[in-house]
Amino acid sequence: MSDMLHQIEPVIPALRRYARALVRNHAAADDLVQDCLERAVSHWNQRRDTGSPRPWLFAILHNLAVNQFRRASTRGQHISIDDAGEHEVGESAVQEQKLIYQDVLGKLAKLPDEQRAVLLLIAVEDLSYAEAARVLDIPIGTVMSRLSRARERLQQELERPAGSQGRNVVQLRSNS
């Protein structure tokens, strides 16, 4: 039991970070992580791989998040999304950097869910390509192609002139 505690506990901050970057709502993200931890505790002895619990925990969390997206889209409901970047960026960041970070996170949010997930797991959570493939239950080749598309697309967004993006935002708001 204490082994479980010592193996899971260090991963919780990273799970939280992944959840928040994925669902972009502070409270909903922590609820997902809580749900994930409860499942992890109750299924601890049923995990197939007794190596690092990191990919296993991310897989539980990811599946919970995907189910939530699916439920939300079939019901036509939306989880309210915190303003891009504002909550995610730590207070310690210097003002100028903070603007860059908010911009990056706002544009990350525009990626399709599956591309965002791959990029986060690899570039932020330091999962290997093989581990990411297991978490997402896809072949490693698909991980690579999604990663490539995610980076290209994020780059396009980042290089887009600010003016056209501004109009885009106004348009979206007036539609909602």
Partner 1 sequence: MSIRPISEDDLHAYVDRALEPERQAEVAAYLESHPDVAKRVAAFADQRGWLRSALGPIAEEPLPPQLNLSRIIESRRRRPSSARWAIAVMLMLAIGGIGGWTMRGATQAPASGLAALAQEASDSYQVYASDRTRPVELRDSTELVSWVSSRLRQPVKLPDLSKSGYRFMGGRVVPTAHGPAAMFMYDDDHGERLVVLTRPMTSDQNAPMAPHAGGNIAGFSWADGGMGYSLVGPGAAEQLRPLANEVRKQARSI
Q: Which region holds residue 85: left if phi is over 0, alpha if psi is between -120 and 50, else beta? A: left
- Per CB under 8 A, does 41 bind partner 1? yes
Tokens 């598309």 correspond to 149
Q: Which residue type occupies 105?
A: L
Place of tokens 């965002």: 116
How many whole angstroms separate alpha carbon 175 and alpha carbon 149?
28
Report the residue number, 73 or 97, with the smaller CB distance to partner 1: 97
User: Is residue 149 close enough to count as binding partner 1 by CB under 8 A?
Assistant: no
Q: Which class for 170: exposed (0-12), middle (13-18), buried (19 or more C-beta within 10 A)? A: exposed
Angle, helices 129-136/54-75, rounded to nearest 10 degrees = 40
Distance of alpha carbon 22 from alpha carbon 117, whole angstroms = 7
Count of residues that interact with partner 1, criterion CB under 8 A: 48
- 121 and 127 in contact (C-beta within 8 Å)? yes
Tell me the three state secondary structure of residue 22: helix
Residue 69 burial class via C-beta count within 10 angstroms: exposed 0-12, middle 13-18, buried 19 and up: middle
Q: Which is nearer to partner 1, 4 or 73 (CB)?
A: 4
Residue 162 is a binding residue for partner 1 (CB under 8 A): no
Q: Is 84 in the site for partner 1 (CB under 8 A)?
A: no
Q: Per CB under 8 A, does 170 bind partner 1? A: no
Q: Does 22 bind partner 1 (CB under 8 A)?
A: no
Distance of closest approach, residue 77 Cβ to partner 1, in angstroms: 22
Q: Which of 30, 68, 69, 109 binds partner 1 (CB under 8 A)?
A: 30
The residue range among 52-60, 66-74, 96-104, 166-174 that interacts with partner 1, by the rule CB under 8 A, is 96-104
Q: Is 66 in the site for partner 1 (CB under 8 A)?
A: no
> Where do contacts with partner 1 occur on this chain (CB under 8 A)?
1, 4-5, 8-9, 12-14, 16-17, 20-21, 30-31, 33-34, 37-38, 41-42, 85, 88-93, 97, 100-102, 104-105, 108, 119-120, 122-124, 128-129, 144, 147-148, 151, 154-155, 158
